[in-house]
């Protein structure tokens, strides 16, 4: 089965330092027993491990340093008609190996499904029909997975129900169906249950489709802080079906477009241009293919924009799944927004708070001479076209300064602030930005955009989903 294998870059010790840990031993399995072997691995027939043990004699005895690489393998699969009983993906898409799939199919199949309450109202009967038609023993647990409820109570509730239902923790992955909150909470529960139980993510919002579902992070809010408790355990698979977006309110689509815009601004000019020229159409078509849109070009734009957003996200996440490297482009928009989002909860959605943060940072980048006025204006116009808020009254200068200081404290003494240096280009800045640049950028930002806590400057009309 395509399960979590082994790899911990965090525990990796480079060969340069290995000698300081003592004598290196490889590990080989002979007749079912693992033994240490000094020097290069000589076992031809048995298994060998990538793990190593370093041993050092001490006056008091010995010290052992264990280096045990852990590899995570997970699949991210775009699919259509996920809930069609003829479609195998939901049950078996997480298993890449056909032989393992065949042997799993021969056994009775059991699944535990956690579903967002609203998603359950909309799709619950289709989910039941799917598992009934497939002869699966299943339990569906609908939960109010909202940002305000994103806490350990929900995690405990899931754990109690999973425990009562009973699952094989190696071959019966828990399925999470919902937005980012549902996926994060279920991921944390699965990472705790029997120390690590496989789980599957089925995102039903655009934001969770392009962001929350493709990486390894799970989490809940704690002690007033956003995602303060969590783990880095990816799902065994994520199944992406964009037809779920049809029932999303437009505001939720804009919310997801903010995370797509983040990737565009950081590393993909063509994605930016696509969102700039086609963003409004994509928004109002809810990124659906041509059946619901008049021209076939629309289908291409929707599919292309989602594909690029995921590819660019995976490029940034895969080499740094546990965020050991704190220089992360995907943190753009996430320096001030966590504090802002929690402070005004539930007034701002996650992507909206991220967009307000990005909007201010675009002014900072312009003030620092990294972006021209034209580039800055194009970005803000694009945000407005996506019907995203670009300013918020609670995003005060004091909050901005506090967030940057906190960032400095928690990022090993370096700011590590991603800023755009052009359209689709960015750099990470390590030193604290001069206070006068921040103050001037904040001043200009407020002067030019105050009131645009949502809405469409280009038409002058209030947005369909944003009051002023
Ligand atoms: P959400 O989970 O709160 O969902 C938004 C709303 O949409 C909810 O009210 C939900 O009931 C409703 N909904 C979901 N699917 C629907 C559908 N198909 N039709 C109609 N309504 C539907 O919010 P979100 O924006 O999906 O996710 C935000 C969360 O994701 C935040 O908590 C954030 O921290 C987290 N996140 C996590 C990661 C990560 O890497 N793990 C990345 C980004 C965001």
Express each pLDDT in 126-147 by its tens digit. Answer: 999 999 999 999 999 999 999 9
Averaged pLDDT of the chain: 90
Q: Which fold has domain 74-247?
A: Rossmann fold (3.40.50)
* Percent of all residues in the chain with a pLDDT value above 90, rounded to a whole number: 81
Please tell me the distance between residue 407's alpha carbon and the centre of ligand 1 in angstroms.
25
Residue 138 has which token pair?
């299943």
Q: How confident is the model at residue 159 (pLDDT cuts 50, 70, 90)?
A: very high
Return the higher-pLDDT residue of 458 and 309: 309
Q: Are 222 and 264 in contact (CB under 8 A)?
A: no
Q: Do domains 74-247 and 286-318+326-466 have the same CATH topology?
A: no
* Percent of all residues in the chain with a pLDDT value above 70, rounded to a whole number: 90
pTM here is 0.90
Express each pLDDT in 52-91 by its tens digit. Answer: 999 999 999 999 999 999 999 999 999 999 999 999 999 9
Residues 8, 52: Cα–Cα separation, whole Å: 13
Please tell me the predicted confidence (pLDDT) of residue 18. 54
Q: Which of 52, 217, 226, 280 is catalytic?
A: 217
Average pLDDT over every residue of 187-212: 97
Please tell me the distance between residue 92's alpha carbon and the centre of ligand 1 in angstroms.
25
Express each pLDDT in 358-399 by its tens digit. Answer: 999 999 999 999 999 999 999 999 999 999 999 999 999 999
Q: Which residues contact 265 (CB under 8 A, 6 or more apart)?
A: 272, 332, 358, 362, 379, 420, 423, 424, 426
- For the chain, which residues make up each domain, given as ranges? 9-67, 74-247, 286-318+326-466
Express each pLDDT in 97-108 by its tens digit. Answer: 999 999 999 999
Average pLDDT over every residue of 168-189: 96
Q: Which is the CATH superfamily of the domain at 286-318+326-466?
A: Dehydroquinate synthase-like - alpha domain (1.20.1090.10)
Express each pLDDT in 14-53 by its tens digit. Answer: 444 456 889 999 999 988 999 999 877 666 667 899 999 9
Residues 329, 332: Cα–Cα separation, whole Å: 6
Q: How confident is the model at residue 463 (pLDDT cuts 50, 70, 90)?
A: very low
CA 446, chain centre distance (Å): 30
Please tell me the predicted confidence (pLDDT) of residue 160. 98
| Confidence check: pLDDT of 3 > 50 | no
Q: Ligand 1 site: residues with CB under 6 angstroms?
A: 116, 118-119, 122, 145-147, 150, 178-182, 184, 204-205, 207-208, 211-212, 215, 217, 227, 244, 247-248, 252, 255, 349-350
The DSSP result for 336-366, as a single string, is SHHHHHHHHTTSS-HHHHHHHHHHHHHHHHH
Please tell me the predicted confidence (pLDDT) of residue 466. 40
């Amino acid at each position: 089965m395509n399960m979590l294998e082994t790899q911990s870059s965090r525990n990796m010790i480079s060969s340069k330092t290995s000698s300081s840990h003592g004598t290196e031993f490889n590990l080989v399995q002979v007749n079912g027993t693992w033994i240490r072997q000094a020097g290069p691995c000589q076992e031809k027939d048995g298994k060998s491990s990538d793990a190593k043990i370093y041993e050092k004699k001490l006056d008091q005895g010995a010290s052992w340093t264990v280096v045990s690489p852990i590899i995570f393998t997970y699949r991210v699969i775009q699919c259509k008609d996920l809930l069609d009983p003829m479609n195998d993906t939901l049950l078996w898409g997480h298993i890449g190996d056909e032989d393992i799939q065949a042997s799993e199919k021969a056994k009775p199949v059991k699944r535990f499904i956690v579903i967002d309450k609203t998603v359950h109202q909309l799709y619950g009967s289709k989910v039941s029909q799917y598992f009934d038609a497939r002869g699966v023993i299943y339990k569906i647990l609908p939960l109010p997975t909202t940002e305000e409820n994103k806490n350990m109570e929900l995690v405990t509730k899931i754990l109690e129900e999973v425990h009562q239902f009973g699952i094989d923790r190696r071959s019966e992955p828990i399925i999470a169906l919902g937005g980012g909150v549902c996926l994060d909470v279920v991921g944390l529960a699965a990472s705790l249950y029997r120390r690590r139980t496989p789980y599957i993510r089925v995102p039903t919002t655009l934001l969770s489709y392009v962001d929350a579902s493709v990486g390894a992070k799970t989490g809940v809010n704690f002690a007033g802080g956003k995602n303060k408790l969590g783990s880095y355990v990816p799902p065994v698979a994520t199944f992406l079906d964009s037809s779920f977006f049809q029932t999303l309110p437009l505001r939720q689509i804009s919310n997801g477009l903010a995370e797509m815009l983040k990737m565009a601004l950081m590393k993909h000019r063509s994605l930016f241009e696509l969102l700039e020229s086609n963003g409004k159409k994509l928004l109002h078509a809810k990124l659906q293919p041509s059946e619901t849109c008049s021209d076939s070009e629309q289908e291409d734009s929707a599919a292309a924009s989602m594909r690029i957003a995921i590819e660019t996200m995976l490029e940034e996440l895969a080499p740094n799944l546990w965020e050991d490297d704190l220089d992360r482009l995907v943190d753009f928009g996430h320096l001030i927004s966590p504090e802002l989002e929690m402070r005004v909860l539930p007034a701002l959605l996650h992507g909206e708070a991220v967009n307000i943060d990005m909007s201010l940072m675009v002014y900072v980048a312009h003030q620092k001479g990294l972006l021209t006025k034209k580039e800055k204006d194009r970005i803000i116009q694009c945000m407005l076209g996506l019907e995203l808020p670009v300013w918020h009254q609670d995003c005060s200068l004091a909050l901005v300064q506090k967030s940057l200081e906190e960032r400095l404290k928690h990022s090993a003494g370096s700011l590590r602030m991603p800023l755009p240096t052009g359209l689709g280009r960015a750099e990470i800045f390590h030193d604290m930005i001069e206070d006068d640049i921040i103050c001037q950028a904040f001043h200009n930002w407020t002067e030019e955009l105050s009131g645009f806590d949502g809405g469409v400057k280009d038409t002058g009309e209030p947005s369909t989903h944003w009051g002023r």
